[in-house]
Amino acid sequence: MALFCFTGLVHGMVTGSVVFLLCSRQITWSLT
């Protein structure tokens, strides 16, 4: 999943930002 987030950021700042936010939420849920 982390690799997917990184790839999203590399592809584009706008799209990457959205993907990063979505991934951050899932990562937070995974840690809890």
The boundaries of the domain holding residue 16 are 2-31
- pLDDT value, residue 30: 83
Instruction: Tell me the whole-structure pTM to 2 decimals.
Output: 0.41
Tokens standing for 31?
């840690």
User: DSSP label at 32?
Assistant: -
Q: Which residues contact 2 (CB under 8 A, 6 or more apart)?
A: 23, 27
Kind and range of the H or E element at 28? helix 13-31
- pLDDT value, residue 3: 75
**Count of structural domains, the chain:** 1
pLDDT along the chain (32 residues), means of 10: 70 72 84 76
